[in-house]
Structure 1
Amino acid sequence: MLSNIRVLDLTRLLPGPFTTQLLADLGAEVIKIEEPGFGDYCRLAPTQCIDGTTSSFHSINRGKKSVTLDLKNKKDWTTFKKLLKTADVLIESFRPGVMENLKLNPEQLLQEFPSLIICRISGYGQTGHYCIHTNIEKGGRMKKKICQSQKMIFIRSGLLGLMEKPDLPPLPVADLCGGAYPAAFQIVSCLFGREKDPLRKGNIIDVSMTDGCYALMPFPQSIVNNTPKHNISFGKYMLNGSVPCYQVYECKDKNAYISLGCLEPKFWYQTCDAIQCPHLKSKGLLAMDNGGDSVKAELTKIFKTKTSQEWREIFSKYDACVEIVNLSEQVSANDPQLKARNLDVPLTLVGKSKDGQTVQTQLKVPRTPLNMKHGVDIQTKPGPKLGEHNQEILSKL
């Protein structure tokens, strides 16, 4: 689908590389522009592989190419500008101001390369109170920098305040849902628009991960925005566990849980029948505060009386929105649905053993959730070695 599209990727770690992995799995040629010596920091993450990189790196860099350039070096900077002439998309995730300091101001780049689509991913975006550009003030002092970590993004977007206990989720929601998916969606939209435009105009995309996280809250934020006296405090929102019918409960066996998602009356009634508690039908559906707490307490005791497998067998006879919680290792190893959907990509790595012998090993990483009859090209090649494609790419400039 994107087989004739070339993407230059200046990003590292998670949001940007995941964005370009989506584009690569749609057929785009993705060239990672990496700093000589270290490259993408994700290469240094835990879980070392025999090729000297990591499973984390391979999981979001499959099928990409790697070119090493130091953009602070005049010769490399000139080479990068030549490379831009061949590109359809440029994606970067520096702090605001870094591109300008590198004399790669996106507005000027768009004038020079009018068909180029430039995507900028940052914690707070390129404008606003928390967007402090990284540059030198008069006198040589650095301007104050505001932390753009996932935790800070969660706090400022309001997502953290929705949780029953204010803590970070086990997944990088800000990076992926707040950054990568909005970035990929807008890049593909711009490519489509450019194809329809006789002038083939490019565009500049400003992706704020805080904006993306804020947009994940249409229900609670619309309540707060339009009901001034309404306060959604920690745990007091329907979809974060504040109502008994939409909660996770512990089972009798160790590290086993059951999840209820019974917001519709028919599912809640079926659940009450399954656990033989018809008296709860009129109490627990949308009960909050003290009423909800008493129902939760009763359900907590009930679900601890049986193992997760026993509950699975009981609920198999009812049309209830209830499921046993799978642990991560159980999902990969046992879940027949995930196996049927081929959610893992097998990769073959080549490296050296401790005694210097060339060896191969198999690596399994999650694939991107792209499922179309035509146009998907899931990459099965491992991530590139640092600078692996210098000769191939740069010799053609």
Structure 2
Amino acid sequence: MGPLSGVRILDLSRVVSGPFCSMLLADLGAEVIKIEEPEHGDDSRAFGPPFSGGESAYFLSVNRNKRSCAVNMKAPEGAGIVRRLAAQCDVMLDNFRPGAMERLGLDHRELRAANPGLISCSITGFGRTGADAQRPGYDLIIQGESGIMDITGDPNGPPTKVGTSIGDLLTGQFASQGIMAALLERARTGKGRHVDISMLDCMASLLTFNAGIYFTTGKSPQRRGNTHATIAPYETFRASDGWLNIGVASDKFWQLFCGVIERPVLAAEPRFAKAVDRVRLREELVPVVAEVIATKPRRHWIDRLSKAGVPYGDIRSVQEVCEAEQLTSRGMVVEMQHPTAGTVRNIVSPVRFDDGSFDDHQPPPLLGQHTAEIVGELLGMSRTEIDALADRGVLRCNDLEVTHG
């Protein structure tokens, strides 16, 4: 049992940001009921290739530890079922555009009137207020609008997105943090709260020292490639057989690094002794370092940097990371048996507790796999009622689920 055991979450979200949020909470022990549209389900079920057993690898990566309940919320009866479920949940999560929940009759204020302890969380692209509130928010769009793309990539190249859906994933993390804070507050007050999460706000918060540079100087930082604005040398270097990262992040490390590359003249050079001067003279210093690094293979430098205690890192492929002993030995890669996709592997939540008491994970659900189970348990519906609603397209029940009579 995890620390969130006993917390029930009604997840109306789809694609990445919301599902990632609810998966993080499910990894911590929360019960997550994933509401899906009956015909096609979560949009990401169609994202591919690749597919495994008819299931999208994309969907399988962000939906473990959940139960799928397929309900047509656009039908009055379907919206009524969701309202009844919300009355028995601790948290409700959505990532519709502003106004959509109200049009569905699922306004968080009305739901909290029936369930005063309900915590609701809405994820939007640009926020529930402001001139851009109704704009659709997708990861690529938000990466550009937030300034992240403008400071990412080669200085002489185009703006570049981060290689993963960082806008979606970061937003999911902030949403889970807001929900947990609201749960902690509710334990003290007994009252629910609405959490408003904007993808743009989340991504803009990553600007930190870049925004600080602008606020201090009035000048917008430019793309720096793999260099750092306020530390040098702190970047990617080419060895004779490939690339590695070296981070000389302090004056102590500078002295150690000069020993690694066997350049006592650099260590004794007063112009480079202080971090601020190494940054100021970066154009002179970095080419000298790069020339030295290029003379030996990566393993030579990695061995020497490791022995000296200077921060360094190899540059690994996704395959190498997924198979890395450092991750697999810590249980960061789990295997789950899926009804149609076979063995599904995920990289799991990095949160670790000392007793390791909730390391068992359930595979992502089939569409509607638990519909009858959920409405039978929580709403007391008979199988006859469930089948009648399924015949009218209000519900979808998968044949593999546990049924209720």
- Bucket of the pairwise TM-score, normalised by the shorter protein: 0.7 to 0.9
Match of 1:348 in 2: 337
Match of 1:137 in 2: none
- Structure-to-structure mapping, 1:86-235, within 5 angstroms: 86-132=88-134, 146-165=135-154, 166-177=159-170, 179-197=171-189, 200-225=190-215, 227-235=216-224
Match of 1:36 in 2: 38
Task: Give the residue type in structure 2 aligned to 1:233.
Answer: Q
* 8 Å contact from structure 1 (residues 63, 379) kept in 2: no
SS in 2 for 1:317: helix
Q: 1:164 to 1:66 in 2, by over 3 A?
A: closer
Distance, in Å, in 2 between the alignment partners of 1:279 and 1:122 is 55
Match of 2:349 among 368, 383, 392: 368
Match of 1:64 among 42, 63, 66: 66
Greater displacement, 311-320 / 200-209: 311-320
Greater displacement, 87-96 / 156-165: 156-165
How far 1:223 sits from its partner (Å)? 3.3
* 8 Å contact from structure 2 (residues 149, 160) kept in 1: yes
Greater displacement, 168-177 / 150-159: 150-159
Match of 1:337 in 2: 326
Distance, in Å, in 2 between the alignment partners of 1:289 and 1:245 is 8
* 8 Å contact from structure 1 (residues 25, 376) kept in 2: no
How far 1:385 sits from its partner (Å)? 0.6
How far 1:27 sits from its partner (Å)? 1.0
State yes or no: 1:77 paired with 2:79: yes
How far 1:20 sits from its partner (Å)? 0.7
State yes or no: 1:270 paired with 2:262: no
TM-score scaled by structure 2? Answer: 0.84
Distance, in Å, in 1 between the alignment partners of 2:228 and 2:307 is 26
Match of 1:390 among 371, 384, 387: 371
Q: 1:375 to 1:74 in 2, by over 3 A?
A: farther
Q: 1:239 to 1:123 in 2, by over 3 A?
A: farther
Q: 1:261 to 1:386 in 2, by over 3 A?
A: same
How far 1:265 sits from its partner (Å)? 0.9
Task: Give the residue type in structure 1 aligned to 2:304.
Answer: I
* 8 Å contact from structure 2 (residues 90, 119) kept in 1: yes
| Deviations 1:23-42, CA, capped at 9 Å, x for gaps | 11111110110001111122
| Deviations 1:273-314, CA, capped at 9 Å, x for gaps | 211233444439445788312322233333222221222222
* 8 Å contact from structure 2 (residues 232, 249) kept in 1: no
Match of 1:246 among 213, 234, 239: 234
Structure 2: gaps spanning 5 or more residues: 380-405
| Deviations 1:145-190, CA, capped at 9 Å, x for gaps | x34122322233222333353211112221122x111111111111
State yes or no: 1:18 paired with 2:6: no
How far 1:243 sits from its partner (Å)? 4.7
How many pairs are equivalent? 368
Structure 1: gaps spanning 5 or more residues: 133-145, 352-359
* 8 Å contact from structure 1 (residues 90, 116) kept in 2: yes
- Structure-to-structure mapping, 1:313-328, within 5 angstroms: 313-328=303-318
TM-score scaled by structure 1? Answer: 0.85
Distance, in Å, in 2 between the alignment partners of 1:148 and 1:129 is 14
RMSD: 2.4
* 8 Å contact from structure 1 (residues 245, 262) kept in 2: yes
Task: Give the residue type in structure 1 aligned to 2:364.
Answer: G
* Structure (1/2) with the larger helix percentage: 2
* 8 Å contact from structure 1 (residues 50, 350) kept in 2: no
Distance, in Å, in 1 between the alignment partners of 2:245 and 2:287 is 15
Task: Give the residue type in structure 2 aligned to 1:249.
Answer: F
| Deviations 1:342-363, CA, capped at 9 Å, x for gaps | 1101112333xxxxxxxx8423
SS in 1 for 2:358: coil
| Deviations 1:34-69, CA, capped at 9 Å, x for gaps | 001111122222354543213332222112100111
Distance, in Å, in 1 between the alignment partners of 2:280 and 2:225 is 11
Distance, in Å, in 2 between the alignment partners of 1:326 and 1:73 is 49
* 8 Å contact from structure 1 (residues 162, 235) kept in 2: yes
Task: Give the residue type in structure 2 aligned to 1:18.
Answer: F
Match of 1:355 in 2: none
Structure 1 stretches of 4+ with a deviation exceeding 6 A read none
SS in 2 for 1:249: strand
Q: 1:41 to 1:174 in 2, by over 3 A?
A: same
Match of 2:362 in 1: 381
* 8 Å contact from structure 1 (residues 244, 287) kept in 2: no
Match of 2:389 in 1: none
SS in 1 for 2:253: helix
* 8 Å contact from structure 2 (residues 231, 249) kept in 1: no
| Deviations 1:204-258, CA, capped at 9 Å, x for gaps | 0001121112222322223322x25444223299746x754111112222xx321
Q: 1:364 to 1:375 in 2, by over 3 A?
A: closer
